[in-house]
Structure 1
Amino acid sequence: MALIAAFSQVDKTTHNSHKFAFKLSPTNYGYWKAMVQPFLLTNNLFGYVDGTIPCPPKFLTPTASSDKEATPPPQPNPNHSIWISNDAHIRMLLVSTISEASFQHVTSSNTSRELWLALERAYAPNTASREYTLRGQLLKVEMKGDENPSAYLTRAQEYADALANIGAPMNEKDVVMLG
């Protein structure tokens, strides 16, 4: 059994020193994922999120060397506590990139994988109701009284991007109708 390496203080400082200049919101999931996923990959953290580095068992069950010997009691698995610590660090990193509005989706997440999947379910479900909701929101976008045209177009683009993220991009005809 290979030992899982604990993150060193240098690793943690390096991970924490990379601050994202934005927070995940209900409309920017695609952008958020496009920025956060490569960061996790380049820092060898994504295996915790995608499940390829699963949580090891809490105890190791030794086997008896012969039929006549009693099986020794289970021993604590050193990989388990290291994995728990590393995963908590990754969860902390992810939570630091989400808005208060997005936090409601991850409050019951106990691992970084659960957190990642909860955000995916909330913001990128490929369901008819999500598509219908996003299209409706996009069609109802209006310029607010104190809003400049650039901010208005940015809001509209966020809804269009959210549709593209769930595999239902606006077609050119629909985009022209919005203008």
Structure 2
Amino acid sequence: MSAMADSCFPETPDVLMSSICNLMPIRLESTNYFIWTRLMSTIFTAHGLLGYVDGSIKTPAKFALNDRGEPTTELSQSYRLWRRYDAGVKVVINATLSSSSLPHIIGPDTARDLWLTLERRFTPMSNFNIIKFRSDLHTIAKGTDPVNVYVGKLNEIRTKLAGFLVVVDDAEMIAHALRGLPHDYEAFRNSITTRTEPLPLNEFYVLLLAEESSILAGNQ
């Protein structure tokens, strides 16, 4: 194998193929496409393989040329090498899919085709989930839940959004939490919204728990 061929078509390292399941903490499903593609892109970049999925490594001429420069029926050496290494990238991708994602590997011929197929399938689903979880944050209410349960629900939504690479900062989380508090917490809500200094989320939760204790004690 020539140095030029190695340079044009980087090979998928055996160590990556054997360890990808350990390197990837998640399997691709409808709720984590954006973070999956970010992690996979980083892995491929680290191993010089990103060109197989982003299109920068082009498919070489499939057939070898004869002495007159005409295509023959024999596969070219470049094409055989590319085909082998491209298949290695597909193996790596397939190893990171959940059982619900596996049907989408049927049909795509190259690693690039597979990458685009997954993108077309999961991007709309991801966008739908982002809208849904954003809506959940806007409409969540404490109701009769204890504060620790209410806070747990808020943090669960934040974690789900993080899976789509959507960052909800502390100030926004506090605003959503305040919006969902019942009338008993009106004085607390006013005290928080009139603060001039930024309030860390963990400190806000401590204050909210203390306010709950005070309200419960006053109702006894």
TM-score category (smaller protein): 0.5 to 0.7
Which protein has greater RCO, CA pairs closer than 8 Å, 6+ apart? 1
Measured against aligned partners, the alpha-carbon deviations of 1:60-97 in whole angstroms (never above 9, x if no partner) come to: 234638xxxxx685653011111111111111111111
CA RMSD of aligned residues (A): 3.7
- What's 1:119 paired with? 118
Q: Report matched runs for 1:17-32 at 5 Å.
A: 17-18=19-20, 19=22, 20-32=24-36
Q: 1:153 to 1:170 in 2, by over 3 A?
A: closer
Contact 1:59–1:76 (Cα < 8 Å) also in 2? yes
Counterpart of 2:61 (choices 53, 57, 61) is 57
> Which residue in 2 is equivalent to 1:83?
82
1:137 deviates by 5.7
Contact kept, 8 Å, 2:108 with 2:114, in 1: the verdict is yes
Q: Partner of 2:131 in structure 1? A: 135
Amino acid across the alignment from 1:31: I
Identity, % of aligned positions: 22
Matched residues in 2 for 1:111 and 1:73: separation? 23
Unmatched tracts of structure 2, length 5 or more: 141-148, 181-220
Which structure has the larger Rg over C-alpha atoms? 2
Instruction: Return the letter of the residue paired with 1:136.
Output: K
Instruction: Provide the rounded CA distance (Å) in 1 between the counterparts of 2:162 and 2:46.
Output: 29
Residues of 2 paired with 1:44 and 1:51: CA distance? 13
- Paired residue for 1:68? none
Q: Do the aligned partners of residues 77 and 177 (structure 1) sit closer, same or farther apart at CA in structure 2, a change above 3 Å counting?
A: same
Deviations 1:93-137 (A, max 9, x none): 111111112223332222111111112112224xxx964564236
Structure-to-structure mapping, 1:1-179, within 5 angstroms: 2-4=4-6, 7=11, 11-18=13-20, 19=22, 20-62=24-66, 64=68, 73=72, 75-125=74-124, 131-132=127-128, 134-136=130-132, 139=135, 153-154=155-156, 157-159=159-161, 161-162=163-164, 164=166, 176-177=175-176
Secondary structure, aligned partner of 1:113 = helix
Per the normalisation by structure 2, the TM-score is 0.56
Unaligned ranges ≥5, structure 1: 66-70, 143-147
> Tell me, what secondary structure is at the counterpart of 1:60?
strand
8 Å contact 1:3–1:79 — kept in the other structure? Answer: yes
Change (3 A) 1:62 1:111: same
Q: 1:55 to 1:89 in 2, by over 3 A?
A: same
Number of equivalences: 160
C-alpha contact 1:62 1:74 (8 A) present in aligned 2:
no
SS state at 2:101 partner: helix
Tell me if structure 2 keeps the 8 A contact 1:135–1:159.
no
Normalised by the length of structure 1, the TM-score is: 0.67
Which residue of 2 is the match for residue 145 of structure 1?
A: none
The one-letter amino acid paired with 1:32 is W
Question: How much has 1:55 moved relative to structure 2?
Answer: 1.9
